[in-house]
């Protein structure tokens, strides 16, 4: 029996890679210095895995920016505009690589970056490869080979990791019509084969192919491509052991196909799909030579593994296939968890009580080797590792910081009525019209106003004690007041306070809720050099004090116009946190919903008549396979409704989502029953409103008419035109006028100009009506 790992975080314990990469971009360090930092991180990671006696250690899991971009670079999938750029701008390879990731605006050139997308159901973003019909591939970069050699020189023979060819093509974007990226497979395979042969020559024995596309709804043609690809590799490089990894869900319909492949090892994500074990070992075509990598340590969460549960599962597998054909592994790459729990010392802001229950990437390596020892032990229950592990779990199970009977009781007592406004939207609309008296095409914004350098400096100064609480408070009040006067001058109908007191839309609430804690160093890569520190939800969630009422009241005291209260919704708070694994996500989500519900009611009692509950993460929470959607949507929608339904009919509930591809979930969006939904739309020229139009979406909609993702100020007529286009899809009486998303990343001058034009556009549209 062996242990293996699928990938290790590459940002470095203290985000050394981020600092080096950003330093290189700014020109403060050289390419050599950047490369040496990268090499140092790889060395530390490999040695760490070696010290933990991991038998098969990955390489090529490192990346300066993103592993999908690395593969595009490796196989020479360089879009034409970047090839031209390299010649014109005389760029080095590394600058070309970063230009693909971030675009290039120098020396009078302006080349758009490749786009970015979320990696399956994670918060990691990859660079979307671009393919053309006549796409050629070539071995453009030797990164895979170089890193294999580098580890070899340290005495470690690694298992290089490559994204599999089918997943790679499926992740890509066809830059021409009428062609399917999968058609490129035949051209792509020889490049992989070249690499594999080279690796083989250098002594590689195992290669890991990641094909997470196997966790998605599949088609016969995708399965045929998988069969073709892995048969091709087996023919071209017969003695290389292929380790095929799918994660985040079951193999599902693809199982029969993968069991017939000429591969050495099949990886199973047990944390997401424990049933697979039964499916596989009862399947007719179960191969007697296939090895299995049992992904039993959760690579997506930060809790200690339950050794008792894992040993039970492992013994079931061993009974069927014997110890020799088993590897113990994390469920997926450890990229999605923070590096090292040991950095959270007594001075960490993390709740110290929960420390013994946690396990970050480094600790998970320890769990892998401990589990192996325990499997091999004659009497594992007597082993120290086991005893300590079970004790920690027991404490967690019984802890009073985790379990709040009152919260559980409240969830239990919820009825359908609690998730339902008193009257239908039709009636509410009339009441709200009377109460609020807003014009046709009411204008508003999404919530945040520019988070300038000053605002961030004040927060930093406040946090490290250089600014007193009173000084901080008064600076933010001034900023809020100024922003409100500005909105009045511009002539907006529904104002916001600007969100200057918030660092992040989830963290701000998590910091005030019971059941949440924050690590000091628990960074996880989000994209490129950007890292996030997700909140940790460890216990029953409740709200002990109002969270936004004081700021909203203050803002309302500055104006006679309506201030829109601004909250983050339960699904988004859940989605962007590490969540409990001892109860269903739906349960945690409902608890958060109740806390938000209390806040909504307090805002209403404080005289706030319009309240927005942002849910930008509802769509990304969708399970990978469509069969699981209905269950998710049911509880997610219910959570939103629990949070929003405790108010009077006259109180207007808004929600906001930063995208507008609602085709497949439009019914659920309508079920949210928000009085107003604001969405992104400007870049699609309102075409995305089709989903709402064909559904006869009944409530009000604010399709963003100004793209806040760029500093460009749109003209009034452009926006009048967009309102006009929107009107062709949605009746004018249902339309609001607003930007795409919050303005926190913008600067003041452009914000002011754009909002002025936006209001002028609404005024013109009203006259033209
Ligand atoms: N209210 C938030 C803001 O304006 C919404 C952010 C978001 O949609 N991601 O910043
Ligand atoms: Zn948004």
ipTM for the predicted complex = 0.99
Residue 499, marked binder: yes
Residue 325, marked binder: no
Task: Note the pLDDT tens digit of each residue in 220-265.
Answer: 999 999 999 999 999 999 999 999 999 999 999 999 999 999 999 9
Residue 448, marked binder: yes
Question: Closest Cα to atom 3, ligand 1: which residue?
Answer: 742
Assign 710 a pLDDT band (cuts: 50, 70, 90).
Answer: confident
Ligand 1 atom closest to the CA of 656, numbered from 1: 8
448 within ligand 1 shell (Cβ under 6 A): yes
In 3D space, the residue among 641, 624, 642, 622 whose CA is nearest the CA of residue 632 turns out to be 622
8 A C-beta contact, residue 497 and residue 563:
yes
pLDDT of residue 280: 81
Q: Which two tokens stand for residue 61?
A: 């899991």
- 214/167 Cα distance (integer angstroms): 8
Assign 287 a pLDDT band (cuts: 50, 70, 90).
Answer: low
Residue of 125, 497, 709, 729 marked catalytic:
709
In 3D space, the residue among 177, 160, 188, 161 whose CA is nearest the CA of residue 77 turns out to be 188
Considering every ligand atom shown, identify the ligand nearest to the alpha carbon of residue 704 and give its number: 2
Considering every ligand atom shown, identify the ligand nearest to the alpha carbon of residue 615 and give its number: 1
pLDDT of residue 338: 98
Assign 661 a pLDDT band (cuts: 50, 70, 90).
Answer: confident
Residue 741, marked binder: yes
Q: For residue 737, give the 3-state DSSP assignment.
A: strand
Q: Measure 710 CA to ligand 1 centroid, in angstroms.
A: 16
Average pLDDT over residues 290-315: 97
Q: Measure 118 CA to ligand 1 centroid, in angstroms.
A: 18
Question: Closest Cα to atom 9, ligand 1: which residue?
Answer: 616
Query: What's 670-730 look like in SS3?
Result: HHHCCCEEEECCHHHCCHHHHHHHHCCCCCEEEEECCCCCCCCCCCHHHHHHHHHHHHHHC
447 within ligand 1 shell (Cβ under 6 A): yes
- Averaged pLDDT of the chain: 96
CA distance to 77, 126, 184, 228, 440, per residue, from 189 (Å):
13, 22, 9, 10, 58
Q: Which two tokens stand for residue 286?
A: 């179960």
Residue 410, marked binder: no
Assign 406 a pLDDT band (cuts: 50, 70, 90).
Answer: very high
Q: Measure 340 CA to ligand 1 centroid, in angstroms.
A: 31
Assign 62 a pLDDT band (cuts: 50, 70, 90).
Answer: very high
- 165/584 Cα distance (integer angstroms): 35
Residue 182, marked binder: no
- 402/431 Cα distance (integer angstroms): 42
565 within ligand 1 shell (Cβ under 6 A): no
pLDDT greater at residue 659 or residue 192: 192
Model confidence at 286: pLDDT above 70 = no
Model confidence at 289: pLDDT above 90 = no
Average pLDDT over residues 713-727: 96
**267 among known catalytic residues:** no
- 531/17 Cα distance (integer angstroms): 11
Say how far residue 675 (Cα) sits from the centre of its chain. 27
8 A C-beta contact, residue 307 and residue 370:
yes
Considering every ligand atom shown, identify the ligand nearest to the alpha carbon of residue 446 and give its number: 1
Q: Measure 394 CA to ligand 1 centroid, in angstroms.
A: 39
Q: Measure 637 CA to ligand 1 centroid, in angstroms.
A: 19
* pTM for the full predicted model: 0.96
Contacts of 688 (CB under 8 A, 6+ apart): 660, 661, 662, 679, 680, 681, 703
Average pLDDT over residues 314-337: 95
Straight-line distance from the first to the last Cα atom of the chain, in angstroms, rounded to the nearest whole number: 74
164 within ligand 1 shell (Cβ under 6 A): no
614 within ligand 1 shell (Cβ under 6 A): yes
Ligand 1 atom closest to the CA of 744, numbered from 1: 10
Q: Measure 764 CA to ligand 1 centroid, in angstroms.
A: 27
pLDDT of residue 682: 84
Average pLDDT over residues 423-452: 98
Q: Measure 565 CA to ligand 1 centroid, in angstroms.
A: 12
pLDDT of residue 66: 98
pLDDT of residue 108: 86
506 within ligand 1 shell (Cβ under 6 A): no
Assign 285 a pLDDT band (cuts: 50, 70, 90).
Answer: low
- 362/360 Cα distance (integer angstroms): 6
- 1/369 Cα distance (integer angstroms): 11
| Residues β-bridged to residue 701 | 677, 735
- DSSP at 689: G
8 A C-beta contact, residue 535 and residue 507:
yes
396 within ligand 1 shell (Cβ under 6 A): no
Assign 279 a pLDDT band (cuts: 50, 70, 90).
Answer: confident
Residue 530, marked binder: yes
566 within ligand 1 shell (Cβ under 6 A): yes
Q: Which two tokens stand for residue 239?
A: 């003695």
Task: Note the pLDDT tens digit of each residue in 519-561.
Answer: 999 999 999 999 999 999 999 999 999 999 999 999 999 999 9
Which of 487, 573, 614, 679 has the most ligand 1 atoms within 8 A of CB, as the residue to mutate? 614
656 within ligand 1 shell (Cβ under 6 A): yes
Model confidence at 46: pLDDT above 60 = yes
505 within ligand 1 shell (Cβ under 6 A): yes
Model confidence at 739: pLDDT above 90 = yes
Model confidence at 604: pLDDT above 80 = yes
- 81/112 Cα distance (integer angstroms): 9
Q: Measure 141 CA to ligand 2 centroid, in angstroms.
A: 37
Which of 123, 446, 497 has the most ligand 1 atoms within 8 A of CB, as the residue to mutate? 446
Residue 531, marked binder: yes
Average pLDDT over residues 692-709: 95
In 3D space, the residue among 406, 425, 419 whose CA is nearest the CA of residue 643 turns out to be 419
């Amino acid at each position: 029996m062996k242990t293996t790992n699928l990938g290790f975080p590459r940002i470095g314990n203290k985000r050394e890679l981020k600092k080096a990469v950003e330093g290189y971009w700014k020109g403060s360090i050289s390419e050599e210095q950047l490369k040496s930092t990268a090499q140092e991180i790889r060395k530390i990671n490999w040695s760490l895995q070696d010290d933990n006696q991991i038998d098969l250690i990955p390489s090529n899991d490192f990346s300066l920016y993103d592993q999908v971009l690395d593969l595009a670079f490796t196989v020479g999938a360089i879009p034409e505009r970047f090839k031209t750029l390299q010649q014109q701008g005389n760029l080095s390879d590394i600058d070309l690589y970063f230009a693909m990731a971030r675009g290039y605006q120098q020396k009078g050139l302006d080349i758009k970056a490749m786009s970015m997308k979320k990696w399956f159901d994670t918060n990691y973003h990859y660079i979307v490869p671009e393919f053309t019909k006549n796409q050629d591939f070539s071995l453009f970069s030797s990164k895979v080979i170089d890193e294999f050699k580098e580890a070899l020189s340290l005495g470690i023979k690694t298992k290089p990791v490559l994204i599999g060819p089918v997943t790679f093509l499926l992740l890509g974007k066809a830059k021409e019509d009428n062609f399917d990226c999968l058609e490129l497979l035949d051209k792509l395979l020889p490049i992989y084969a070249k690499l594999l042969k080279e690796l083989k020559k250098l002594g590689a024995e195992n290669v890991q192919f990641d094909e997470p596309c196997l966790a998605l709804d599949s088609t016969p043609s995708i399965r045929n491509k998988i069969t073709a690809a892995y048969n091709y590799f087996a023919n071209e490089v017969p003695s290389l052991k292929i380790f095929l990894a799918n994660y985040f869900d079951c193999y599902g319909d693809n199982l029969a196909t993968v069991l017939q492949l000429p591969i050495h090892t099949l990886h199973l994500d047990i944390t997401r799909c424990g049933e697979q074990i039964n499916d596989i070992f009862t399947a007719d075509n179960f191969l007697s030579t296939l090895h299995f990598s049992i992904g039993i340590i959760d690579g997506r969460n930060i809790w200690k593994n339950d050794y008792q549960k894992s040993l039970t599962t492992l013994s079931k597998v061993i009974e069927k296939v014997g110890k020799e054909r088993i590897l113990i592994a994390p469920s997926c790459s450890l990229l999605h968890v923070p590096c090292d729990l040991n950095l959270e010392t007594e001075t960490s802001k993390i709740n110290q009580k929960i420390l013994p229950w946690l396990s970050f990437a480094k600790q998970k390596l320890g769990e892998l080797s401990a589990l192996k020892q325990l499997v091999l032990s004659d009497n594992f229950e007597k082993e120290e590792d086991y005893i300590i592990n079970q004790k920690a779990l027991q404490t967690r199970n019984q802890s009073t910081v985790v379990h709040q009977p009152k919260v559980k009781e409240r969830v239990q007592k919820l009825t359908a009525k609690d998730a339902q406004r008193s009257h239908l939207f039709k009636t509410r609309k009339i009441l709200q019209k009377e109460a609020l008296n807003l014009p046709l095409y009411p204008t508003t914004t999404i919530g945040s106003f520019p988070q300038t350098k000053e605002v961030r400096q004040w927060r930093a100064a406040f946090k490290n004690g250089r600014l007193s609480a009173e000084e901080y408070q008064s600076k933010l009040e001034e900023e809020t007041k100024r922003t409100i006067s500005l909105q009045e001058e511009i002539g907006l109908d529904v104002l916001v306070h600007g969100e200057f007191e918030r660092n992040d839309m989830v963290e701000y609430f998590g910091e005030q809720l019971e059941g949440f804690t924050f690590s000091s160093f628990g960074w996880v890569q989000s994209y490129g050099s950007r890292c996030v520190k997700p909140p940790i939800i460890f216990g029953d969630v409740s709200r002990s004090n109002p969270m936004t009422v004081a700021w909203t009241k203050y803002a309302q005291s500055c104006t006679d116009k309506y201030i829109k209260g601004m909250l983050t919704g339960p699904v988004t708070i859940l989605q962007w946190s590490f969540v409990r694994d001892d109860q269903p996500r739906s349960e945690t989500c409902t608890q958060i919903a109740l806390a938000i519900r209390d806040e909504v009611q307090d805002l209403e009692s404080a005289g706030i008549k319009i309240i927005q509950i942002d849910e930008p993460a509802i769509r990304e929470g969708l399970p990978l396979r469509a069969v699981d959607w209905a269950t998710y949507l049911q509880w997610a929608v219910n959570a939103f409704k629990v949070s929003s339904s405790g108010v009077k009919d006259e109180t207007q509930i808004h929600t906001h989502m930063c995208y507008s591809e609602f085709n497949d979930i439009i019914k659920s969006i309508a079920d949210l029953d928000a009085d107003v939904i604001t969405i992104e739309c400007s870049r699609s020229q309102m075409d995305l409103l089709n989903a709402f139009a064909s559904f006869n979406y009944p409530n009000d909609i604010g399709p963003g008419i100004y793209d806040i993702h760029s500093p460009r100020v749109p003209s009034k007529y452009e926006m009048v035109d967009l309102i006009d286009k929107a009107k062709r899809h949605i009746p004018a009486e249902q339309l609001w006028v607003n930007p795409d998303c919050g303005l926190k990343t913008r600067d003041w001058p452009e914000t002011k100009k754009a909002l002025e034009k936006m209001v002028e556009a609404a005024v013109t549209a009203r006259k033209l009506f």
